[in-house]
A and B are shown apart, each in its own frame.
Chain A
């Protein structure tokens, strides 16, 4: 990889200042960015680690009951300490492998918005709020396509707030080599309706399946989805599966998530 300067500020304000430098790039846990740098697909002049910022670490519960996760909190911590939202903790517990979960962060995953990553499905499926150093962004406005988000240059995800649903579940069909989601479906049932978010399938990244949401809001049961299907025309098609195969998996995994929701 090309060389860069490394900085590890201890406050959000110092990190924002450091990211103001030309060609500066934020570094979460590095589980995607460091391999990217090795391939010379990115060449920042300055890498600003967000892991030394204590105010971005850890999990708490807000007054309204939402689970608040600091942007620099790693997946292992969410898996073990996120029990107030069991489906989210279970999702975190199956990202990557144990060593990756000890480094990778929720803010890093959401900022990267990999089209096959798990956290985007959890955030969109929960109607989470992405909190940055400057504003709060609703998940519905945040995800803007493959590797694209509403984040501005130098903007930092300081916290992610998840409203805790009555029931939820995440079902991931593993791509057998990478262990990323070939298709992953996050289903969450709230008092005001059901949300269904799907990762791994679409060329536009994570998306909501509104037809399934309407059916499940009326009847939260796997059979409510009978007859519903998605088109594979705009879905990712590669040697691991065609678009049509992914579209089929979306329906199957949504049913499984509903059946397993607790």
Chain B
């Protein structure tokens, strides 16, 4: 066992981990931050996406020990300070970007990472960026629409197929 310490959503978090402890396990089981979902556990589905030092990673395919000293952001830290939904989260609600909601934490975190590096993405760029985030409910159209809307672009022309 080894001691790891990292910043999670702005607060210091530390705990004992085995070498094999995944970042997703540390977040969910040790820190009880269960908003980060584990879908496939094989780095395909993207439900576990969090930000490590500002970039999107699949937390099921990173060791907790690798994140020692890192700045980690999860879905729990995304809402505004007053508890209201942030722009991306609100857009997902407004545009019906979720149905069962299982993939949504990863979708929101990927969307946040995308808009940070590309504030006004095209529809094609949004779809390309979501290559590693799988949703089995929505068919993606409303997720793409929500992210476009969150970027401040007019989405009235995008069909809700």
Within 8 A of B (CB), among A203-255: none
Q: A40 → chain B, closest Cβ, in Å?
A: 11
Q: B67 → chain A, closest Cβ, in Å?
A: 11
Q: Which one, A30-38, A117-125, A131-139, A187-195, is touching chain B?
A: A30-38
Residue of A5, A99, A179 with most chain B CB atoms under a 10 A cut-off = A99
Q: Which one, B8-16, B39-47, B142-150, is touching chain A?
A: B39-47
Q: Which one, B27-35, B52-60, B153-161, is touching chain A?
A: B52-60
The residues of A that contact B110 with a CB separation of less than 8 Å are 98-99
Q: B120 → chain A, closest Cβ, in Å?
A: 17
Please state if A30 and B63 are interface contacts (CB–CB under 8 Å): yes
Within 8 A of B (CB), among A1-46: 1-6, 8, 30-31, 34-35, 37-38
Report if A34-B132 is in contact (Cβ < 8 Å); known contacts: A6-B19, A100-B43.
no
Residues 122-134 of chain B, each 1 if its beta carbon lies under 8 Å from chain A, else 0: 0000000101110
Please state if A97 and B66 are interface contacts (CB–CB under 8 Å): no
Report if A3-B131 is in contact (Cβ < 8 Å); known contacts: A30-B62, A34-B62.
no
Residue of A1, A30, A76, A97 with most chain B CB atoms under a 10 A cut-off = A97
State the CA gap A179–B44 with chains docked (Å). Answer: 10
The answer, yes or no, to whether B90 is at the interface (CB within 8 Å) is no
The answer, yes or no, to whether B73 is at the interface (CB within 8 Å) is no
The answer, yes or no, to whether B61 is at the interface (CB within 8 Å) is yes
Please state if B113 and A38 are interface contacts (CB–CB under 8 Å): no
Residues 102-125 of chain B, each 1 if its beta carbon lies under 8 Å from chain A, else 0: 000000001001100000000000
Please state if A99 and B56 are interface contacts (CB–CB under 8 Å): yes
The answer, yes or no, to whether B18 is at the interface (CB within 8 Å) is yes
- If A49-B65, A98-B110, A99-B132 are given as contacts, then 16 extra A-B residue pairs at C-beta distance below 8 Å, sorted by A number, are A1-B20, A3-B18, A5-B19, A31-B43, A34-B43, A34-B61, A34-B62, A35-B42, A47-B19, A98-B113, A98-B114, A98-B131, A99-B57, A103-B58, A103-B62, A179-B131
